[in-house]
């Protein structure tokens, strides 16, 4: 099963950029890199995903290393509402999706 590793926790000051790292050294060629976040007492929600190229959407940017063994989720200006657990996962063509413990992001006012 595909595995990812992330720091347990990170802190950011409000209105500053946040770079959340993820390592996935066992990634295969057809695995997509997905990011989800879970706010307190809610189900996880989709943030962004990509295969090889960097991706941008209204919520965040995803930077994927050239060898695809790591990626970084970038929140351009952290707000208090961005305080959540962020999960980096690999989604495979055979659809067995494993979550790790994620990174708990704290945003300091």
Relative to beta strand 61-64, strand 32-38 is unpaired
Q: How many residues does the chain have?
A: 109
Q: Which stretch binds other proteins (CB under 8 A): 11-19, 40-48, 55-63, 65-73?
A: 40-48
Question: Total number of residues binding other proteins (CB under 8 A)?
Answer: 28
Which CB, 13 or 57, lies closer to other proteins? 57
Cα 23 to chain centroid distance, Å, stands at 10
Query: Using CB under 8 A as the criterion, which residues of the chain lie in contact with other proteins when the complex forms?
Result: 1, 30-32, 34, 36, 42-46, 49, 51, 85, 87, 90-102
């Amino acid at each position: 099963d595909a595995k990812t590793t992330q720091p347990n926790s990170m802190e950011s000051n409000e209105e500053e950029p946040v770079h959340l790292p993820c390592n996935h050294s066992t990634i295969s060629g057809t695995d997509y890199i997905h990011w989800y976040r879970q706010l307190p007492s809610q189900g996880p929600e989709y943030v962004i995903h990509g295969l090889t190229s960097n991706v941008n959407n209204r919520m965040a940017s995803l930077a994927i290393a050239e060898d695809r063994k790591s990626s970084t989720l970038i929140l351009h200006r952290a707000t208090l509402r961005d305080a959540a657990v962020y999960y980096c996962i690999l989604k495979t063509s055979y659809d067995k999706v494993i979550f790790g413990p994620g990174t708990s992001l704290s945003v300091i006012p």
